C-alpha cells in the first residue's frame, strides 16, 4: 500500500509538471521538475522525467484493473433479480463493494483532468450511479417490508401497557379488490395515552436503512434517498389521519358544510391533531434521526417531506374555521380549535424548528392568532346582535325577555373558558376609560356587553303602556342577570361592586313599581286631620266614597297584576311582603275609622268588601302569570 501511495504521489507531481509545462515549453517543465527535486529527493528529474512516464501507464492500468474488479462485484448485485438485503452476507458484500468504489473515486478524482484517468473516473461514476439506483430500490424494499412486518397488536406506550388505535369510531368494512383483500398500510391501534412512541420498523431494518442511507449520502444521492424514504412514510401518516376520520377539505368545502357537519368535523380534527403532533410526528422525527444518523440535513429534509402534507392539512382546516362565519353560536367550537392549536404550539416549535420546516411552525402560530381574532370578531357580532334586537313586541306579563336568557347563558358558557378568553383579549382595547387600568381586557369586554344588554332592556321597557309593568319587566330581567352572575366566572370578571350596584338597581325598580302602582291606593286610605272639620255627615260621606274607590282600584289592580309574572320566587315573595307591610296597616286603620262612624256602622258589610286576610290573599295571587292560586284571577 505504501508503494502504491508513493506511486500515486509521483504521478500527481508528474501530472502537474506536464500540465504547467505544456505547449512544448521544455525549459519551463525542467524548471518545475528542478523545484520539485529541491523540495523532496523523490521528485528528482530522473523519477519525474518523460523517460519514466511509462509509470503513468502502469498507474492507469492499476486503476483500470481496480475498476474492472469492482464492476464484476457490483454488477452481480445490480443485476440480481432478488432483493440483495434478503441475505445479510450479500448485503454486506454489496456495501463493501460500494465503499471501495467510493474510495477509488475519492482517491483518483483529483487526477481527472488527465485524459486516461478521466476516462476511468467517468466509468467509475457510471458504475456508482447504477449502484446507487440499486441501493435506492433496496431502501424502498426494506421500507415496505418493514411496514408489512409491523405488528399492529403489540403495545407501544412508554408508561402503560395500553394498545393504541388511530381508527375512527366507525368500524371500517374490509375492502376486497379482484377477490383479494386490498393491501393495508399499517397504522397504529386504540389510544388511551399520548405518552407513546411508535417504532413502525424493526430495529434491524432501521440499521440496514441507516447503512444504505450512509452510502447514498456519501455517493451524492442524499436527496434521492430522502425522497424514497419520505414517499413511503408519508403514505403511512396520511392513512393514519384518514383512519381518524379526517377528510382533506378545501376552504370552500369547509364553509359549505352545515354547522352540525362542521361540529363533527372539528371533533375529528381535535383528535387527529393531538395524535399527529403528540404521537405520529414525534415518532417520525425519531425514525428519521435513526435512519439518517450523522446526516442532520438529510434527516431534517426527510422529516419535513414526510410530515408537511399532513401538517398543512391540519393547519388548513383550522385556518378555514378561523376565516369562516362569525356567528355567535360558533364561539364554543372555535374556542375548542383555538385551545387545541394553542396547546400544540410547543410541539410545533419543538418538531418544526429546522431550516426546512420552520415555515410550518410559523404558520401554526399565525393561524392560532387568526383564531384569536375570530373569537374577538364573534364577540363583536354578539354586541351587534344585541344592538339590533328590536324593541317592538312586549313580553307578556313583564316576564323575562329571550335576549336576557340568551346573552346571560351565552356569557356563562363562554366564561368556562375564561383562561383562553383572557389570553385572546390580552391586547383588546379598553372600552371604558373609567375602568381601572388593572382590570383585565376580558372584564372590560364582559362589562361592555352587559351595558349593551341593559340599554337594550331599558328601551324594551318603554314599550309597555303601564309604567308599573315596565318596572316589573326591568325587575325580572335585572334579577335574572344578577342571579346568573353571582357565584360564576362571569360574576368574578364583573366584580363584587358590579353585583352590588345591579342588586341595588333591582331594589330601585321595586320602589318605582310600588310608587307607580300602589301609591294612589295608599293615598285613598289616608285620612288626615282636615277630614274631621267636615262634620259628621261630611266625614261619613267622604269615608264612604273612599271605601268604594279603594274597592274599585284594588280590584282593578289585582285583576291586572295577577296576570303579570315574576319568575323568581324570592323576588315575588319580597314584593308581596313589602306590599303587605304598607297596605295592610293602612287598610286596617281605615276600616277601624270607617266602623267608628255612627252613620256607617250598620252599613259596614255593605261597603267593606275585604277583611285584612282577604287583602293578603289577593296580594298573594299577584304575579302568578295568567292564573291565581285558585286557577283564575279573582
Residue-wise pLDDT tens digits, 152-169: 334 444 433 334 444 444
Torsion angles phi and psi, residue 593, rounded to 5: -65, -40
Report the DSSP pairing between strands 180-181 and 176-177. antiparallel
- Assigned C-alpha cell, 299: 434527516
Residue 129 CA to residue 95 CA, distance in Å, equals 14
Q: How many CB atoms lie within 10 A of CB 495?
A: 16
Residue 82 CA to residue 134 CA, distance in Å, equals 11
Helix count and strand count (H, E) for the chain: 25, 2
DSSP string, 68-99: HHHHHHHHHHHT-SS-GGGSHHHHHHHHHHHH
Q: How many CB atoms lie within 10 A of CB 237?
A: 24
Q: What is the pLDDT of residue 606?
A: 75
Residue 51 CA to residue 56 CA, distance in Å, equals 11
Give ∠ CA 6-11-17 in degrees, rounded to 5. Answer: 130
Q: What is the pLDDT of residue 163?
A: 40
167-172 contacts at long range (C-beta below 8 A, 24 or more positions apart):
167/243, 167/244, 168/243, 168/244, 168/245, 168/268, 169/245, 170/245, 172/243
- Specify the CATH architecture of the domain 222-383: Up-down Bundle (1.20)
Identify the DSSP state of 329: G
Q: At what angle do helices 467-485 and 441-461 cross, to 10 degrees?
A: 160
**CA dihedral of residues 418, 420, 422, 424 (deg, nearest 10):** -140
158 Cβ contact partners less than 8 Å away, ≥ 6 residues apart: 195, 196, 197
What are the extents of the domains in the chain? 2-148, 222-383, 399-514, 525-620
From 282, 276, 285, select the one nearest 303 (Cα to Cα).
285
Identify the DSSP state of 416: G
Sequence-ordered strand ranges (E) for 500-627: none
2 Cβ contact partners less than 8 Å away, ≥ 6 residues apart: none
| Regions in the chain scoring below 70 on pLDDT | 1-60, 62-64, 107-118, 146-197, 427-438, 528-536, 598-605, 626-634
Q: What is the pLDDT of residue 16?
A: 60
Q: How many CB atoms lie within 10 A of CB 210?
A: 15
Residue 87 φ/ψ region, left for φ over 0, alpha for ψ in the -120 to 50 degree band, beta for the rest:
beta
The pTM for the full model equals 0.75
Identify the DSSP state of 220: T
Note the maximum CA span of the chain. Answer: 165
Amino acid at each position: 500500500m505504501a508503494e502504491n501511495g508513493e506511486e500515486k504521489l509521483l504521478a500527481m507531481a508528474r501530472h502537474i509538471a506536464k500540465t504547467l509545462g505544456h505547449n512544448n515549453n521544455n525549459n519551463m517543465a525542467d524548471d518545475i521538475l528542478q523545484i520539485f527535486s529541491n523540495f523532496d529527493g523523490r521528485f528528482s528529474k530522473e523519477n519525474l522525467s518523460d523517460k519514466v512516464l511509462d509509470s503513468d501507464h502502469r498507474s492507469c492500468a492499476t486503476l483500470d484493473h481496480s475498476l474492472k474488479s469492482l464492476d464484476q462485484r457490483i454488477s452481480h448485485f445490480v443485476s440480481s433479480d432478488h432483493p440483495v438485503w434478503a441475505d445479510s452476507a450479500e448485503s454486506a458484500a454489496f456495501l463493501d463493494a460500494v465503499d471501495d468504489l467510493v474510495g477509488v473515486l475519492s482517491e483518483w478524482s483529483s487526477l481527472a483532468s488527465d485524459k486516461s484517468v478521466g476516462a476511468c473516473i467517468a466509468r467509475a461514476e457510471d458504475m456508482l450511479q447504477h449502484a446507487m439506483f440499486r441501493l435506492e430500490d433496496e431502501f424502498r424494499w426494506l421500507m415496505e417490508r418493514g411496514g408489512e412486518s409491523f405488528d399492529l397488536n403489540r403495545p407501544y406506550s412508554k408508561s402503560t401497557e395500553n394498545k393504541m388505535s388511530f381508527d375512527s369510531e366507525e368500524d371500517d368494512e374490509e375492502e376486497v379488490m379482484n377477490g383479494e383483500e386490498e393491501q393495508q398500510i399499517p397504522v397504529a391501534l386504540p389510544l388511551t395515552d399520548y405518552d407513546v412512541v411508535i417504532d413502525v420498523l424493526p430495529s434491524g431494518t432501521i440499521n440496514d436503512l441507516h447503512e444504505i442511507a450512509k452510502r447514498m449520502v456519501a455517493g451524492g444521492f442524499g436527496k434521492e434517498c430522502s425522497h424514497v424514504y419520505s414517499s413511503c412514510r408519508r403514505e403511512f401518516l396520511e392513512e393514519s389521519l384518514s383512519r381518524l376520520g379526517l377528510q382533506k377539505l378545501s376552504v370552500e368545502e369547509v364553509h359549505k358544510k352545515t354547522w352540525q357537519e362542521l361540529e363533527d368535523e372539528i371533533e375529528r380534527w381535535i383528535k387527529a391533531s393531538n395524535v399527529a403532533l403528540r404521537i405520529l410526528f414525534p415518532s417520525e422525527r425519531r425514525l428519521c434521526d435513526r435512519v439518517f444518523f450523522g446526516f442532520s440535513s438529510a434527516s431534517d429534509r426527510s422529516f419535513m417531506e414526510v410530515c408537511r402534507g399532513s401538517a398543512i392539512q391540519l393547519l388548513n382546516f383550522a385556518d378555514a374555521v378561523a376565516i369562516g362565519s362569525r356567528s355567535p353560536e360558533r364561539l364554543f367550537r372555535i374556542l375548542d380549535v383555538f385551545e387545541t392549536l394553542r396547546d400544540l404550539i410547543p410541539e410545533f416549535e419543538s418538531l418544526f424548528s429546522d431550516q426546512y420546516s420552520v415555515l410550518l411552525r410559523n404558520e401554526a402560530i399565525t393561524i392560532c392568532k387568526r383564531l384569536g381574532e375570530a373569537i374577538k370578531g364573534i364577540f363583536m357580532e354578539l354586541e351587534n346582535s344585541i344592538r339590533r334586537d328590536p324593541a317592538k313586541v312586549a313580553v307578556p306579563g313583564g316576564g323575562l325577555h329571550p335576549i336576557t336568557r340568551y346573552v346571560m347563558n351565552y356569557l356563562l358558557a363562554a366564561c368556562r373558558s375564561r383562561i383562553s378568553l383572557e389570553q385572546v383579549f390580552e391586547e383588546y382595547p379598553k372600552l371604558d376609560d373609567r375602568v381601572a387600568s388593572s382590570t383585565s381586557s376580558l372584564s372590560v369586554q364582559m362589562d361592555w356587553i352587559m351595558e349593551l344588554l341593559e340599554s337594550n332592556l331599558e328601551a324594551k321597557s318603554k314599550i309597555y303602556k303601564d309604567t308599573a309593568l315596565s318596572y316589573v319587566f326591568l325587575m325580572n330581567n335585572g334579577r335574572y342577570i344578577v342571579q346568573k352572575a353571582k357565584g360564576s366566572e362571569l360574576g368574578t370578571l364583573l366584580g363584587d361592586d358590579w353585583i352590588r350596584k345591579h342588586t341595588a338597581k333591582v331594589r330601585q325598580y321595586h320602589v318605582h313599581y310600588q310608587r307607580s302602582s300602589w301609591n294612589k291606593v295608599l293615598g285613598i286610605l289616608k285620612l288626615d286631620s282636615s277630614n274631621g272639620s267636615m262634620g259628621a255627615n261630611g266625614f261619613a260621606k267622604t269615608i264612604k266614597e273612599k271605601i268604594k274607590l279603594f274597592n274599585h282600584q284594588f280590584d282593578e289592580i289585582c285583576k291586572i297584576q295577577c296576570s303579570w309574572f315574576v319568575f323568581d320566587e324570592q323576588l315575588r315573595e319580597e314584593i308581596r311582603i313589602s306590599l303587605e307591610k304598607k297596605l295592610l296597616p293602612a287598610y286596617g286603620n281605615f276600616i277601624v275609622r270607617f266602623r267608628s262612624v255612627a252613620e256607617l256602622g250598620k252599613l259596614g258589610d255593605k261597603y267593606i268588601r275585604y277583611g285584612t286576610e282577604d287583602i293578603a290573599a289577593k296580594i298573594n295571587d299577584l304575579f302568578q302569570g295568567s292564573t291565581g292560586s285558585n286557577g283564575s284571577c279573582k
